[in-house]
Amino acid sequence: MSLATSAVAALLPVADIDRAKGFYDRLDLPYLGTNDEGSLRYQLSGGAMLMLLPREAGTQNPSTALTWEVDDVVAEVADLEGRGIVFEDYDLPDLKTVDHIAEMGGEKAAWFKDPDGNVLCVHQVASG
């Protein structure tokens, strides 16, 4: 057995399971049900899984927790906004968004938060 070929699960803490389910359902991820602990389980690409763990509020990591690579970040942002997802905007010396999207070395990215403050991202790699 090798970790390089094993399926991966991403684990995120959430304080309110029902609120989290409503949010993650809007991302159109396939819902797999709950486990014995009451964690919500969603299918991700490549056999990976997202597990939302019931935890006390305030246990979130301020850094980006998950990022999805997409073919067209502009279209993905528009689609998610149409489903009620609110994107973050930044105006920092090293990070500035325009229409919610930052360009960095030819790559494009946009960030949003779940109801518990977990930072999520969609990004598009530079072509060429």
How far does CA 38 lie from the centroid of its chain?
Answer: 20
Q: SS in 3 state form for 65-110?
A: EEEEECCCHHHHHHHHHHCCCCECCCEECCEEEECCEEEECCEEEE
Residues 3, 43: contact at Cβ < 8 Å? no
pLDDT tier for residue 23 given thresholds of 50, 70 and 90: very high
Average pLDDT over residues 22-49: 94
**Buried-exposed string 91-107: b where 16+ CB fall within 10 A, e elsewhere:** eeeeeebeebbbeeeee
User: 43-101, pLDDT tens digit by residue?
Assistant: 999 889 999 999 887 667 778 999 999 999 999 999 999 999 999 999 999 889 999 99
